[in-house]
Amino acid sequence: MTAFPAHADVVFVGAGHNALVAAAYLLDAGRSVCLFEQMPRPGGWVQTAELGAPGFLHDRWSALHPAFVGGPVWAELGPDLERHGLEYVTAPLATASSLPGGRTAIVPVDPRSFAEELDRLGERAGWDAATAEAFADRVLAEAEAHVPGLSGLVLERHLTTPADLAAQSPNAGPGDHGAGENSLQQALTQRPIPAHRGGHRTLLPGAWLIGAATWPGPAVSGASGRAVARALIAAA
Ligand SMILES: Cc1cc2nc3c(=O)[nH]c(=O)nc-3n(C[C@H](O)[C@H](O)[C@H](O)COP(=O)(O)OP(=O)(O)OC[C@H]3O[C@@H](n4cnc5c(N)ncnc54)[C@H](O)[C@@H]3O)c2cc1C
């Protein structure tokens, strides 16, 4: 029979990772907590388990946690969690993809190795008009395999390469349409740099950051504009 505490400042029904995170902050702030969980283990959809072969650990449900390890919770609680045994293991080879002509692209996590892989595949040669046309032909041929007759329906096509984007606006950097690198270090609250933690205010009085390079990142949402406007209105 489980013994329940006579008193707790906060009671959680369910011990998914959000409840565990909240409990950790509350405990750090001197509150007492009690978590009720109906599964055999806490964590909800975040579980690492041996599912078959001994010694082989799997992410049983959710597997990609960039919003967690790239966000403020990991920055604040990570060292304690690691001290208690949590370790994020990242495979050096993240994924692979089949390419036409029997080629295979391997995508390493390490950017330098990734660049070497792109060189090996000849995919870093730069985007001139001929490369863009050949790429578009390839995409259309792939689509044609699933939608027969598609090519015959194309009236005209306009190709925009990463180089074209970069020429249009400095926000497109070296052809990056997301106002920043599509990497963990640039995910969500890590924009524009991790130390900024998703904030829009800068150290310069009156100067704020806004746009896709800041929280919450790319996509047409107007969200960073709204956040900064609200903060400025509230400060007035
Ligand atoms: C198969 C799968 C794959 C996913 N993959 C990803 C991924 O790769 N990346 C990603 O970011 N997200 C992924 N998600 C989503 C993500 O895992 C969940 O959004 C997140 O884990 C939810 O966390 P939570 O703390 O809000 O609640 P949950 O993880 O849902 O935990 C809630 C807990 O409450 C318990 N509970 C509920 N009711 C009661 C009750 N009445 N009494 C006691 N206990 C109760 C449950 O047993 C559970 O343990 C995935 C989800 C699933 C299901």
pLDDT at 96 over 70: yes
Mean pLDDT to the nearest integer, 6-19 = 90
pLDDT confidence band for 75 (50 / 70 / 90): confident
pLDDT at 124 over 70: no
Q: Give the rounded distance of the alpha carbon of 158 from its chain centre.
A: 30
CA of 93 to the centre of ligand 1 (A): 27
* Residues contacting ligand 1 via CB (< 6 Å): 13-19, 36-39, 44-46, 61-65, 67
How distant, in Å, are the alpha carbons of 78, 89, 212, 215, 221 from that of 171? Answer: 32, 33, 9, 15, 17
Smallest CA separation from ligand 1 atom 4, residue: 62
Mean pLDDT score of the chain: 85
> Is residue 2 classed as helix, strand or coil in its secondary structure?
coil
Half-sphere exposure of 89 (CA within 13 A, CB side): 7
> Is residue 26 classed as helix, strand or coil in its secondary structure?
helix
Residue 13 β-bridge partners: 36
pLDDT at 149 over 90: yes
List the single range of 17-21, 66-70, 95-99 with lowest mean pLDDT: 66-70
Dist. CA 169–CA 177, nearest whole Å: 10
pTM: 0.63
